[in-house]
Chains A and B, each alone.
Chain A
């Protein structure tokens, strides 16, 4: 193994570990596939392959909001692993999906374990507080981020150190319809994210806007940015007309005066 490869291995594991800490706190790159995938691509020196994989997982992940521990794969880790495998073995997106997805599912199981262990840590911190051992309590807290980083760093390390050759071997043995089928699944899976998303959102109230977006894309071939802009226009109109209604309703029972500039403080 060359020096560069070893450096890449280490950086990929660090990226995987840090991803969870970031997702839990700073939310600067979080576990969003396009962002972690771009970084992984830079590490691996193949941005083009990385972007294709990252884009695929990003679209699969839509709607996976990680609220209250939703049990969906960790697509961020799937992306990092996928980019690593695809660029290291040169097998492309098929292996990224075939290896990345299962590893992403494993990470979610590990999260449950980490949160159970964190329970003991929480009790330790509180008992130190009760013993006036505040310095200790302050330091112990740092075990939290370390613990949570393992949920993604460990699977990444397993793949990095034992993976690539095993993965190439498996891909050779597995019949073509399986890898093709997984690629087909890759195209379909965004539907699960979209389905979950629709359950979080007021679908019944705003159903027409889904239809508008669908028709714009399917019939008129408007790109997603264009649809976003039209959606923004509708949202803008809705915000100001509803805000005005709300302030009117608030003001009218008390006095007849309606403050004109009430709706404008949204930009401040």
Chain B
């Protein structure tokens, strides 16, 4: 492109580190706090980017258009959004309002795939691993797991701010090349997560049927005499399988399944099959 077609360098605002930090902090605070069914995280994105965009767009109409662009539907994991918004900021800094359509298509094309990976890591695997370890410790009266998790989350928040800079400096090139490795990373994390889940089924799901049957002189305890002889944690394994199958059915929402479990527990306790 010729120099004449571009804005002269003196007109262009150079985004500072402070500007980026401010946008990242605003985004990583507001995120879902303006969440609505229509544009989801859109208003939070517009609000987060507003101060730095004002510096880029001196012209009111351009500023307005740029903000409206960010008010559009948007939804992704905040970690990933930090990178995406860092990258779109770099684009807007360079090309101004001409970048509008490119910004929109970058956001819409990346938010889905990156959210798939990000949500799995941030909202499924991380809470599962930390939650099972710290939950287990808490049951034994030890708050250490909770404290470690809390501190790790604080560190993680600063990582998110850093990722905004990563997105800004490396932009789209990095995000797309990372894509490949992120999938492998998610799969690897899933392996660790699933091993933990396997252990959880045996330890965390508590169901036993210590009901006694009397056959003449012989008493048989259903739990110790039958189930435990087949394999340890047999009932938890079977219950997990049943619930997993039920949840695969669209009619069985989590709430319904929860109510079913409560109903089974109540009936079972009433009949004396389960004991508290």
Q: Please state if A141 and B184 are interface contacts (CB–CB under 8 Å).
A: no
Proximity bits, A191-203, B CB within 8 Å = 1, else 0:
1101111111111
Give Cα distance in the complex from A115 to B195, angstroms. 36
Cβ contact of A206, chosen from B131, B135, B190, cutoff 8 A:
B190
Q: Does B172 contact A (CB under 8 A)?
A: no
Taking each of A35, A67, A130, which has the highest tally of chain B beta carbons within 10 Å of its own beta carbon? A35
Residue ID in chain B nearest A52 by CB atoms = B139
Give Cα distance in the complex from A196 to B200, angstroms. 14
Q: Please state if B184 and A243 are interface contacts (CB–CB under 8 Å).
A: yes
Instruction: Provide the residues of chain B in CB contact with A196, threshold 8 Å.
Output: 247, 254
Q: Please state if B266 and A231 are interface contacts (CB–CB under 8 Å).
A: no
A193 to chain B, nearest CB (A): 9
Q: Does B36 contact A (CB under 8 A)?
A: yes
- Given A65-B123, A194-B200, A224-B133: A180 and B243 interface contact (C-beta under 8 Å): no
Q: Does B102 contact A (CB under 8 A)?
A: no
A90 to chain B, nearest CB (A): 18
Q: Please state if B131 and A58 are interface contacts (CB–CB under 8 Å).
A: yes
DSSP class of B's interface residues: helix, strand, loop or mixed?
Answer: helix
Taking each of A59, A63, A148, A211, which has the highest tally of chain B beta carbons within 10 Å of its own beta carbon? A59
- Given A58-B134, A118-B36, A148-B33: A235 and B264 interface contact (C-beta under 8 Å): no
Q: Please state if A144 and B33 are interface contacts (CB–CB under 8 Å).
A: yes
Give Cα distance in the complex from A215 to B202, angstroms. 8
Instruction: Provide the residues of chain B in CB contact with A235, threshold 8 Å.
Output: 188-189, 191-192
A166 to chain B, nearest CB (A): 21
Q: Does B124 contact A (CB under 8 A)?
A: yes
Q: Please state if A29 and B37 are interface contacts (CB–CB under 8 Å).
A: no
Q: Please state if B120 and A195 are interface contacts (CB–CB under 8 Å).
A: no
Instruction: Provide the residues of chain B in CB contact with A230, threshold 8 Å.
Output: 195
Proximity bits, A92-130, B CB within 8 Å = 1, else 0:
000000000000010000000001101101100110011
- Given A62-B131, A129-B46, A129-B67: A144 and B30 interface contact (C-beta under 8 Å): yes
Proximity bits, A223-247, B CB within 8 Å = 1, else 0:
1110110111011101100110010
Q: Does B157 contact A (CB under 8 A)?
A: yes
Q: Please state if B135 and A59 are interface contacts (CB–CB under 8 Å).
A: yes
Total contacts A to B, CB within 8 angstroms?
376
Q: Please state if B247 and A195 are interface contacts (CB–CB under 8 Å).
A: yes
- Given A195-B247, A246-B184: A224 and B132 interface contact (C-beta under 8 Å): yes
Instruction: Provide the residues of chain A in CB contact with B133, threshold 8 Å.
Output: 224-225, 228
Residue ID in chain A nearest B260 by CB atoms = A192
Q: Please state if A195 and B31 are interface contacts (CB–CB under 8 Å).
A: no
B147 to chain A, nearest CB (A): 7
Instruction: Provide the residues of chain B in CB contact with A32, threshold 8 Å.
Output: 127, 130-131, 149
Give Cα distance in the complex from A182 to B270, angstroms. 11
A58 to chain B, nearest CB (A): 3
Proximity bits, B13-43, A CB within 8 Å = 1, else 0:
0000000000000001111111111110011
Q: Does B141 contact A (CB under 8 A)?
A: yes
Cβ contact of A239, chosen from B141, B180, B184, B261, cutoff 8 A:
B184
Give Cα distance in the complex from A190 to B54, angstroms. 49
Please tell me the size bucket of the interface on A.
Answer: 35 or more
Q: Please state if A191 and B236 are interface contacts (CB–CB under 8 Å).
A: yes
A145 to chain B, nearest CB (A): 4
- Given A185-B265, A192-B254, A195-B246: A213 and B68 interface contact (C-beta under 8 Å): no
Q: Please state if A227 and B195 are interface contacts (CB–CB under 8 Å).
A: yes
Give Cα distance in the complex from A76 to B84, angstroms. 30
Q: Does B60 contact A (CB under 8 A)?
A: yes
A23 to chain B, nearest CB (A): 8
Within 8 A of B (CB), among A57-88: 58-59, 61-67, 70-73
- Given A34-B149, A35-B149: A121 and B192 interface contact (C-beta under 8 Å): no
**Cβ contacts A to B, 17 pairs, < 8 Å:** A23-B32, A38-B143, A59-B132, A70-B254, A122-B71, A141-B44, A188-B207, A199-B248, A200-B124, A209-B191, A210-B197, A213-B197, A217-B198, A217-B201, A234-B195, A242-B187, A242-B188
Shortest Cβ-Cβ A-B pairs, 9 listed:
A213-B198, A231-B195, A187-B206, A55-B138, A58-B135, A55-B139, A185-B265, A181-B269, A231-B192
Q: A181-B262, A184-B275, A209-B195 are in contact. List 5 more A-B contacts (CB 8 A).
A: A47-B143, A122-B42, A145-B30, A177-B266, A185-B266
Q: Which residues of A contact B (CB under 8 A)?
A: 21, 23-30, 32-35, 37-38, 47-48, 51-52, 54-56, 58-59, 61-67, 70-73, 105, 115-116, 118-119, 121-122, 125-126, 129-130, 132, 134, 137-138, 141, 144-145, 148, 177-185, 187-192, 194-203, 205-206, 209-219, 222-225, 227-228, 230-232, 234-236, 238-239, 242-243, 246, 250, 266
Q: Which residues of B contact A (CB under 8 A)?
A: 28-39, 42-44, 46-47, 50, 54, 60, 63-64, 67-68, 71, 78, 119-120, 122-124, 127-143, 145-147, 149-150, 153-154, 156-157, 180-181, 184-185, 187-207, 231-233, 236-237, 239-240, 243-244, 246-248, 253-255, 257-258, 261-262, 264-270, 274-276
